[in-house]
Structure formats: C-alpha cells, structure tokens
Chain A
C-alpha cells in the first residue's frame, strides 16, 4: 500500500538493517507511537504512557461506542432525507476521543466538519452541528461559550484562527501554569497542502503560540490518497518549521490520549506548538455524496478494518477483565438510546423563518438589507390568500 511504502522509505531503512525489529509496535509505521495494538495488546513506548483507572479505560470505550452510533444515525438521517449531507467519522473514533479527552476545560477547539467525536468530549449536546447538515443554519453557535468553534468547511482556514486565538492567550498572560490555556486545531491530510495551514505553522512557531495542530491523516482527501499531498511523512514537516512533530496511531485511543495530553501541556506551559499526525483511516465515504468504490479497493478497506479502534479497545478490556459482556451490552443499549433521542430531536428541528435570511448580516443592520427585508415581506404578503 502506498502509505506503508512511504513510511518505510528514507534513512530509517539503512539503520534498521541487522537491527532487531521493534517489538509489538510493528503493526504500523515504525516511527508511530502506539500503546494498544490492533490485537488489543497493551504495549509500552519509551516516551509515552497513560496511567488510567479501570473506570477511565471503560469511559474511553464508552465514548467511542456512542460517537460511532451517533455518527451512524447521522448517515441514516441523511439517507432518509432528514439531512442534506453528513460527514462520517467512522474509523476515526480513537483519534477524536483520545485527543478530545486530553483537553482541559479551559482549552479551545477549532474543528473541521468531521469532529463530532471531539464535540462529544466537550460535553456539548450532539445535536449542535446537525443544523448545519440539515441546512437550517450555518453553524449557529457561540464558539466562545462552548470553547468549540463552529465547523469550518473551507479547508485549512481554521488553523490560522486557532493560531491567532492562541496568540491572544499568550498576550492575555494565560500560559505558564497548569491552569494555562491551550488550543487545538484539527485538519486533515489534504488540508496540509493549503497555504493557510503552512502559514499557521510559521505564525505558531515564530510567536511560540500555545496551539496543537492535530492532523487526522485518514489517508484520503476525497479521492486523492495522501501521496498526492506529501512524499514524506506529514509529521516530519514540523521540524522544518521549528517545533516538534509526532506520529501517533490514530486508531489507538490510549496513544492518542497520551500524545495529545503531552502536547497540550507543553503548549499551556509556554513551550509552544506541536504537530500531531494521527495515522488513521476514513472507513466510510468522504461524505454521503461520495462513492469511494470509484477510487479505492475493498482489500485496502478490509486491511484497515482489522485495525479498528473500537474493537481493539474492547478486546483489551475483555482480556484485562476490566469489563464484561454485561457492560458491553449496557453501553450498546445506552448508545442506541442516545441515537434514538438524537434522531427524534433532529427530525423535530423546525425550518427557519424565511425572514431569517436578513438577520445578523451586520451588527447594527444596514439600510440596503433592511430595504430588501421589507420588499421581501411585502412580496410574500402579496401571495397571502392566493393558492401560491
């Protein structure tokens, strides 16, 4: 596979000759942080670890099961005409839950359009982004209240916003201690090509901004494999910009949690940005309008299915006797309940009033918009009583 080759190439090859193969971490690229193998085996890493209670392990599993179930409901609602489009996170649960649970309450998130799992970890009602996908609003929430910016569809734009927000934190003197604030910017492998993203690296580096760039390399930008964006592993780019880059197994919730926690702590303590490449796979279509069978084969998808983030965590919990079948069944039932509840509420979301077109264009209104609003209302009133 293209991406595996990419990682084996380069100087590593020479050094590896005659050396012992790395132990259990050999399931992915050799330079990838992993704490839980696809087989559910807990492995160690020289630099990263997590120290979690049984309850915390179970919670991570629960998060992943619930966001996967809610995501499936998003897809179903689109199929049934309740949403215009849905961007599924299927396969990326560990990357999103692991990174999301690494955040502190005071941290700020700048998502793409796929971060429903991260949103869940912020204890935000999962219905919040559905207005956008249903076509009844353009986001419509106060990002400062939720510490979660609105979804951004223009690829890469939010990485600069995140960096500017982080610069503001520094200016406000809110870095330095454990209560310091930090920012996380999410984007995809495709976005790594955008000027905005590369410029945000420059800014973050030059101003030592407390921002973590979290790239979910899900191997595709719609139909284009990551080899169209990068010939060297993405995380290596950070080096040239002057801050650390690390690749983590994005299907390993423990490793993602460990790596993101460290990066956010570094940022909040004033040690500047980190680039995290979460190596994962988009198991579904790009969005509900996409047909991935046109550009990738099922063998590749199956190979990644064997690395599924949720089932490896389940195996781990079972083997360590941290959870049993009753527990798993209970979580499935709870996830189902969340999904049904979400479904009912999405279907009940009302269409906006037509006049809402004219609201909030400017903070104080504008003569032109107000004139158009009046004309619009008069025009529609002229149909009243007619069959129109």
Chain B
C-alpha cells in the first residue's frame, strides 16, 4: 500500500504504528502532547494514545533523557523528542555518560532501547540554536547509534526500526524538509524494510560519487541532475546511518567512479566527512583519481539567518567540488 506523506507526517505515522505494535513505546518531550510538537510530528498521538503514553514533560532536556533511561531500565521504550537541535546539549551528559555506556557497564544485561529524535540542520531562517547539525558529537561516542532520514519512506520505516533497536539511537530528522512530500510504501513489516544501519545508492553514475545524508541528499540529487545536463554522471549515495558507518556501498561506488565528494551541513573540522575520507583513502587508495573533497558548513558558529544561504552547502558548491575532483 502506498501513501503520499510529508516527511514530518511520515515520522508521525511511523511513531503511531510503533505505538500500536508495542504498548511499551512511549513518547516524551516538550509540547509533544496537546500541541503535537512545534513541527506537529506527534499531532494527534496524545489524543489517541493518552497522556500516559504521550508525555508533555517539564522544560528540562537532561530530565527528559535521565528519566527516559530510568523508564527503559524498567522495561519501557521511550522515544524522546528534542525540540530543536541546539537544545540537546543540556541532555548531553545523560546521553554520553549514561545512555551510551549502560549496556557496556552492565555486561550487556541492561539494554537501553531509547530513541532520541532531533530535528536537524538549518535553512529555515530561524534564530540561533535552531539550525545546527550536531551529529558528529554523537557519532563520536561508542555505544550510540546515529541515523539520519531524508525522505518520507525512510522516515516512516527508519523511526520504527530505531524504536525496535535494543541499542540507543539518535535519530536525526531534516527539519527544513519536513514539509516535502513523498511516496511511502506502508505494506509489509519491519523485517522486510530496507535495513536501518545500511547505506543506499540512490542514483547510479560513473564519473564521481556524492555522499550525503539528511537534508543534503536532495542537494546531491539536484547536483546530479544538473551535472547530467552537462554530460557528467554522478552517483548519489545516501549514507542513512552515521554510526555505525556502512562503508561497503561507499567503497564500491568509489572503486567505480574514482572520485568522491562528501556533503554535510555540519562544519568540516573533525566531522563525519573527515571520517569517511580517511576510510576511503585507506581502503580505496588505488582507485582514487583525486583526493576526497568535502562540501560542508564552515568552521564558525552557525551564522545569523540572513547569512545561512552562504553558509550551507548548495548545488553550486557541490558542482564546484565535483569539478575540482577532475582538476587533479
């Protein structure tokens, strides 16, 4: 069965189905209940599942994560919403020191099946702390899994798979794409869905590989379309999982094209693009025709909204980088 859903609505539909399938799934966060979240992702869920399962929490992110950990120890499966990317930091200690390490410390006896949903990235003209891309902090921490959806179909299935995961999952949602529509095939079940921690080649090409995730996948596709008009064929790889990285599809692509550009909104310094570049250099050294290039946000604080267009990677910057891979 196929349905047209916006990305935000697809996350909501996935949450709904997960709650129907498992009575232990609960949602917690600021304004997620009556309001349905500031992006309306949880719209209607409190009405249908009650205040016990869709919880408007006090305004304290450390509290949200800390109590979610207690609930998970007790056997619940909390899905925490962080209202905006820049507001996850009060919860950072609970995520990095507690959530990430409980399984390891308990010799595997205490899993923490918690999902932390974070609307991520910029491009909506917001004030500060609303447009950040903090994925590298979490990918850097062993014990956490980190994924990023970029279209409605993935949003619907990936959120359910994340909830089903016994490991904690940091789940990034591309906030500037929440309103974009896409087809969602809702038939089948989780076991038939494309695996969560798997990267996907979304467009085949021969001349260069463009790797992206979240909001930047669309930019990569647009770049590939534009490049095709100029006779250049780009392969678009949607990373989907940021930790663990699923490198085989990336290696296979680079071995074919010999050139790679990694695109992300987050700054470049010690970012996920650097990790990918290092691994590709190590494993595909003899296939590379040029260095791996990165197109990223700059290594500055996220700037004022009227500068964000200059700050964020766009089609032209991606094409420029692709051009440069042919200059070596």
CB-contact partner of A135 in B34, B86, B304, B310, under 8 A: B304
A295 in contact with B34 (CB, 8 Å) = yes
Docked CA distance A374–B251 (Å): 32
Q: Tell me whether A153 and B59 are in contact (CB under 8 A).
A: no
The CA of A138 and the CA of B34, in the complex, are separated in Å by 31
Q: Are B35 and A222 in contact (CB under 8 A)?
A: yes
Chain B residues with Cβ below 8 Å from A290 are 38
A contact residues around B291 at 8 Å (CB): none
* Contact yes or no, B306 A294, CB < 8 A: no
Q: CB of A28 within 8 A of chain B?
A: no
Map CB proximity to A onto B290-314 as digits: 1 under 8 Å, 0 otherwise: 0000000011110111110011000
The contact sample of 23 A-B pairs, CB cut-off 8 A, is A84-B127, A132-B128, A135-B125, A135-B127, A136-B306, A138-B303, A138-B304, A154-B86, A194-B59, A194-B90, A195-B60, A223-B34, A223-B35, A229-B59, A294-B34, A294-B36, A295-B35, A351-B306, A352-B306, A354-B307, A357-B303, A358-B298, A369-B300
**Contacts A191-B59, A352-B307 given; does A154 touch B87 at CB 8 Å:** yes
From the candidates A133, A221, A357, name the one contacting B300 in the complex (CB within 8 A): A357
CB <8 Å contact, B307 and A85: no
**Known interface pairs A137-B304, A354-B310. Does A223 touch B31 (Cβ–Cβ under 8 Å)?**
yes
User: Is A320 on the interface with B (CB-CB < 8 A)?
Assistant: no
Among residues of A, the one whose C-beta sits closest to the C-beta of B305 is: A135
Are the CB atoms of B59 and A193 closer together than 8 Å?
A: yes
Contacts of A351 in B (CB 8 A): 306
Query: What chain A residues lie within 8 Å of B310 (beta carbons)?
Result: 354, 357, 376
User: Which residues of chain A in 205-231 are interfacial with respect to chain B, using CB atoms and an 8 Å cutoff?
Assistant: 221-224, 228-229
Encode B24-40 as 1/0 by CB contact (under 8 A) with A: 00000011011110100
CB contacts (< 8 Å) of A134 on chain B: these are 306
Let me know if B59 and A294 touch, CB within 8 A.
Answer: no
With A and B bound together, what is the CA distance between A354 and B129 in angstroms? Answer: 20
A132: chain B residues at CB < 8 Å are 127-128, 304
A-contact 0/1 string along B43-56, CB 8 Å cutoff: 00000000000001
CB pair B35–A294 under 8 Å, yes or no, is: yes
Q: Is the CB of A224 within 8 A of B56?
A: yes
The answer for the CA separation of A354 and B57 in the assembled complex, in Å, is 40
A368:B269 contact, CB within 8 angstroms:
yes
Interface membership of A1, Cβ < 8 A: no
> Are A153 and B128 in contact, with the CB atoms below 8 A?
yes
Known: A136-B306, A222-B30, A351-B306. A372 touches B56 (CB 8 A): no
Q: Which residue of A lies closest to B317 (CB)?
A: A379
B275 at the interface (CB under 8 A from A): no
Tell me if A72 counts as interface (CB < 8 A to partner B): no
- In the bound complex, CA of A135 to CA of B30 (Å): 25
| Interface of B, helix, strand, loop or mixed by DSSP | loop
Q: Are A356 and B307 in contact (CB under 8 A)?
A: yes
Give chain A's interface residue range (CB within 8 Å of chain B).
35 or more
* A contacts, CB < 8 Å to B: 84-85, 113, 131-138, 153-155, 190-191, 193-196, 221-224, 228-229, 289-290, 294-295, 351-352, 354, 356-358, 361, 366, 368-369, 372, 376, 379, 382, 388
B310: nearest chain-A partner, CB-CB: A354
B300 touches A358 (CB 8 A): yes
Given A194-B59, A223-B35, A84-B299 contact (CB < 8 Å): no
Report the Cα distance A85→B84, complex, angstroms.
Answer: 15
Q: Tell me the minimal C-beta distance from A65 to chain B in angstroms.
A: 27
In the assembly, what is the distance between CA of A290 and CA of B34, in Å?
Answer: 13
B23 within 8 A of A: no
Q: Among the listed A195, A289, A357, A372, which residue makes an inter-chain contact with B90, where contact means beta carbons less than 8 Å apart?
A: A195
Docked complex Cα distance between A113 and B129 (Å) = 13
B320 at interface (Cβ–Cβ under 8 A)?
yes
Q: How far does the alpha carbon of A131 sit from the alpha carbon of B304 in the complex, in Å?
A: 9
B316 at the interface (CB under 8 A from A): yes
Q: How far is the CB of B300 from chain A (nearest CB, A)?
A: 5
> Residue of B at shortest CB range from A133?
B127
A59 to B: closest C-beta gap in Å: 32
Q: Hey, which chain A residues are within 8 Å of B90, CB to CB? A: 154, 194-196
**B62 neighbours in A (Cβ, 8 Å):** 195
- Are the CB atoms of A194 and B299 closer together than 8 Å? no
Which of B33, B129, B310 has the most chain A CB within a 10 Å cutoff? B310
Which residues of A lie under 8 Å from residue B35 when comparing CB positions?
222-223, 294-295
**Using Cβ atoms and an 8 Å threshold, which residues of chain B touch A113?**
127
Interchain CB contact under 8 A, B38 and A153: no
Minimum CB–CB distance from A374 to chain B (whole Å) comes to 12
Q: B127–A228 contact, CB under 8 A?
A: no
Which B residues between 264 and 296 are near A, CB-CB below 8 angstroms?
Answer: 269
In the bound complex, how far is the Cα of B60 from the Cα of A223, in angstroms?
A: 15
Contact indicator B128/A228 (Cβ below 8 Å): no
Select from chain B the residue with minimum beta-carbon distance to A350: B306
Chain B 113-139, CB-CB to A under 8 Å as 1, else 0, gives: 000000000000111110000000000
Chain B nearest Cβ from A71, distance in angstroms: 17
Residues of the A chain whose Cβ atoms lie less than 8 Å from the Cβ of B299: 361, 366, 368-369, 372
